[in-house]
Amino acid sequence: MSLTKSLIELIRNKPIDDNDLESAAMFTLDAVASACAGSATPVGKKLLAWAKASDLDDKRLALLMGALTHITETDDLHRASVTHPGCVVIPAALSLGERTGASGHKILSAILHGFEAMCRIGAAVGPTHYKVWHNTATCGPYGSAMAAATLLDLDREQTVHALGNAGTQSSGFWQFMVTGAMSKHLHAGRACESGLLAAELATHGFTGAPQILEGDKGMFAGMCIDPIPEAILAQPDDPWQLPLTSIKPWPSCRHTHPAVDCALELHGQLNGARIEKVGIDTYQAALDVCDRPEPEDEYQARFSLYHCVAIALQDGAVKLDSFTEQARDQTRELRHATTLQVVDPFASNYPSSWGSRVRVTTSEGKILSVERKDCKGDPELALDVNEMRIKASSLMQYGGLSEAASQELCERILSLPASATPPALFNAFIDRLGL
């Protein structure tokens, strides 16, 4: 039996309880709120200009929502796979779920299925894959296709074809980081669209490779130097991958978060003392993506360990407006006094644990140090429902909703597990964008 077929069996045999559905509703709220915020950004406005100049079908509108969800760096992150499943899976599920008249329960079940496929495949591509390929882009089509297969009631063979054709559309390089280009958002949107296309084609008998993962000319052979195929089917009785995913409390690259968490605690200990030096201990992937001492724009600042830690130390908060030119000017001196290094246990614990240590030396020679094995928003330190409401409402208001409208939307999404009718969230979101 192919890995794809075995993965489908694993997912469809996994029980779903009320807690799983409530977790899926929380992640849906996170994605919708992130998309709202993304629509108000300069990059979001470029995407909206494209959308308004085009005749978009449902798949392209899902692409748009997926891309918008990934702009502000506030969407979720699954550590073991180094993927952002929500920005790919949730727009696909909402779009197709409403088109097929699915209940809230079925849409949330599809989201659980999509997260599971994307995260398990992401955990199997191996660490070297991430050095060139963006895992959200390459593994995302499988998640979108699996969610769509659930909503379209595809049988096992049709679902194999859907995942086969999703996988053959895998793409997405990290080269955009060199210049701070906007490709990362396109990665999320295209992964969402590709999975939808693959699943819809499967309903017409359009076939895909059943061994798209392990075949001699499949994904592992072409894109993975050190794949871990056994990760796809490992520990089938574990909780769903969705509640094992982190929800971000701060709008920056997830690799910055453990250090930000440390810096926020240190801010409370400094009592206004002047900082002379900052040392950040972390793991290699954090340096690969976030070793940016001189961020030139807001987007690069979100991927700068130097800036994110400095602003957290200075302001005691990291917010959507913490990356402006003024904020970058504010952190310049402290960035220049900051050094990064890769050390254990953070290096060897990655990717199962994303940790960090931050050391601060004050002008009086006092050394303060804080470290994290896990950080706020991780499953071990998860946001509760009220914290999620606060985060989501803030993002929605940044995106232009009133406080009352944002609170009403929060409650609508959180009530999805009990909804027997299509939620109309996707169409309402698209209408609000003026499309």
Across the range 108-134, mean pLDDT stands at: 98
Helices (H), 399-424: 403-414
Q: Evaluate if residue 421 carries a pLDDT over 90.
A: no
Q: What is the Cα–Cα distance from 66 to 175, expressed in whole angstroms?
A: 20
- Looking at residue 272, its pLDDT comes to 87
Q: How far apart are CA 323 and CA 272, in angstroms?
A: 22
Q: Where are the domains of the chain?
A: 3-249+380-432, 254-375
Of the pLDDT bands very low, low, confident and very high (cuts 50, 70, 90), residue 332 is very high
Stretch 128-156: mean pLDDT? 98
What's the first-to-final CA gap in the chain, in angstroms?
45
Answer whether residue 338 shows pLDDT above 90. yes
The band of 299, judged by pLDDT with boundaries at 50, 70 and 90, is confident
Output the pLDDT for position 154.
98
> Does the pLDDT of residue 256 top 90, yes or no?
yes
**Across residues 344-370, what is the average pLDDT?**
95
CATH code matching the domain that covers 3-249+380-432, chosen among 1.20.140.10, 3.40.50.620, 1.10.10.10, 1.10.4100.10: 1.10.4100.10
Q: What is the mean pLDDT of residues 58-76?
A: 97
3-class SS string, 246-271: ECCCCCCCHHHHHHHHHHHHHHHHHC
Secondary structure letter of residue 230 according to DSSP: G
Rg of the chain in Å (alpha carbons): 21
For strands 356-362 and 367-372, give the pairing. Answer: antiparallel
Digit-coded pLDDT (tens) for 366-414: 999 999 999 999 999 999 999 999 999 999 999 999 999 999 999 999 9
In the structure, what pLDDT confidence band is assigned to residue 57 with cuts at 50, 70 and 90? very high
Record: fold of 254-375 = 60s Ribosomal Protein L30; Chain: A; (3.30.1330)
**CA–CA distance, 425 with 69 (Å, rounded to integer):** 14
Reported pTM: 0.94
Per residue in 1-49, pLDDT tens?
Answer: 999 999 999 999 999 999 999 999 999 999 999 999 999 999 999 999 9
* Segment 84-108 mean pLDDT: 97
Residue 419 has pLDDT above 90, yes or no: no
Torsion of CA 422, 205, 61, 16, to 10 degrees: 40
What pLDDT does residue 422 have? 81
**pLDDT at residue number 420:** 84
The pLDDT-based confidence of 167 (bands split at 50, 70, 90) is very high
389 contacts 413 by C-beta, under 8 angstroms: no
Distance CA 175, CA 184 (A): 10
pLDDT digit string, tens, across residues 171-194? 999 999 888 899 999 999 999 999
pLDDT at 352: 86
